[in-house]
Amino acid sequence: MKLYQDPFLFKTSAKVKNITEKNDFLFAEFDRTNFYPGGGGQPNDIGTVENENFTGKVVSVEKINNRIIHKIKPIKGKLSIDDKVNLNINKNRRISLIKMHTGEHILFKSIKKQIPDIKLDKIDLKQDESSLYVKSNNLSWKTLFEAEDLANSIIQADKKIHIKFLDKTEAEKNKELRIKLDRISSEKIRVIEIDDFDLSACAGIHAKTTGFVKNIIITKFVFQKGSYEIRFKTDAINKIFNYSKTARQAADILNTDPDSVISLLKKTIHERDEFKEKYRNLLDKIPVSLNTEKTGNIIFKYKVFENYNRKKLIDTINENKEDDSIILLINKKEKNATVMLTCSDTLDYDILQILKKSFRKFNGKGGGRNKFAQGSVNSKHINALIKEIRNLIQNI
């Protein structure tokens, strides 16, 4: 085992082998180090380098051609080759990352037991909240909750975790081993084994038993860029209690018990969607009157809507068109608003250019033709946009 793979070696002594300076940073190599250089999805350690004459902050560590290089921001003093120093890694951060990395092994295997064909794409381990990126055709909260329950039972069982080394040929034959052989160049493969549960090739730093993780909770999952991101926390009892408080408060607001919150919310959302559909159908039957102003020989008509469908807006334009008219419709949807601008065939104006000029002040985006243009703009600019378009029409 390499020195930096000792999970709880937070302090050690070393001698400076090589050192260079660039852009106010030192790049130092020591004869030994407890700083993990990163790998296996686990970030590098950070901490300090100290002796009687020097103090520096280790901001990153990297393995380059089998040399471990420490990037150091000097705080005081000078560091030279052959100097003896104390290497101190950030203890709290190291412990958090050990829990996260061990928890990631447990969580992914727990999900795989629910969905055998799931594929691990990558992991992103951080001190507060980490992420698994997986490829699957069948992922839901129900499945993830089942995996979360299994993961926590493995943690509570306090199973032993072993480090083994396998030959590459031996690893290829092991059907239980989780490994991406195309990413491994060495003939000896480091394997992390959780008793009677998981076997995975990994270069990272892990706990000695599963109980060290304390607990694990999935905080969110989303689909993006072809894979699911599953966010999770370990040793998160405060977060778990906060979720419990939220569930009880939600139950109180909804006048039900916590176990009924989800079914009641689903029912409420369904009823809301039905109401929205009825409301939209009703709106379609109601004729819309527009604000109308006369600017010289031009009739300027405009109105601001909220959450109207496109068909209704087009119908409104057609119902209100008349000779020598310009029509502006703005449809507000939360933070953004859709803008439609059109003019009658009797006017020889380039409506697209008018829209583009008005958008310049408000960072809007749009396109179209000379008689009909559309785009979007931040909703907070609606009133100013109407004023700007009115001014442009007046100065045609």
Digit-by-digit pLDDT tens for the chain (396 residues) are 789 999 999 999 999 999 999 999 999 999 999 999 998 889 999 999 999 999 999 999 999 999 999 999 999 999 999 999 999 999 999 999 999 999 999 999 999 999 999 999 999 999 999 999 999 988 999 999 999 999 999 999 999 999 999 988 888 888 889 888 777 777 789 999 999 999 999 989 999 999 999 999 999 999 988 899 999 999 999 999 999 999 999 999 999 999 999 999 999 999 999 988 887 777 777 777 899 998 888 999 999 998 888 888 898 999 888 999 999 999 998 889 999 999 999 998 899 999 999 999 899 999 999 899 999 999 999 999 999 999 998 887
- Residues 297 and 325: their CA atoms lie apart, in Å, by 9
List the beta bridge partners of residue 15.
84
Q: Are 84 and 14 in contact (CB under 8 A)?
A: yes
Q: Determine the distance from the C-alpha atom of residue 261 to the mean position of all C-alpha atoms in its chain, rounded to a whole number.
A: 27
CA distance 78 to 16: 12
Give the CA distances from residue 126 to residues 41, 111, 172, 222, 239, in Å, rounded to whole numbers and listed in that order: 10, 20, 31, 18, 16
**73 and 61 Cβ atoms separated by less than 8 Å:** no
Q: What pLDDT shows up at residue 277?
A: 83
**pLDDT value, residue 181:** 76
Which residue type is seen at 232?
A: F
Instruction: Enter the pTM of the model.
Output: 0.75
- Phi, psi values for residue 317, rounded to 5°: -60, -50
DSSP per-residue string spanning 329-375: EEEEETTEEEEEEEE-TTS---HHHHHHHHHTTTT-EEEE-SSEEEE
Domains (range + CATH), the chain: 11-89 (2.40.30.130), 95-234 (3.30.980.10), 291-395 (3.10.310.40)
Q: What is the CA radius of gyration of the chain?
A: 31
| Residues linked to residue 328 through DSSP beta bridges, in sequence order | 302, 341
Whether the CA torsion 132, 138, 142, 143 is positive or negative: it is negative
- Distance between CA 385 and CA 392 in Å, rounded? 11
What is the spatial distance between Cα 187 and Cα 81, in angstroms, rounded to a whole number? 34
Residue that has been written with the tokens 């993780």 in this structure: 213
In whole angstroms, what is the distance from residue 301 CA to residue 309 CA? 19
Q: What are phi and psi of 83, to 5 degrees?
A: -65, 140
Closest CA to 363 of 326, 390, 327, 388: 388
Looking at residue 6, its pLDDT comes to 94
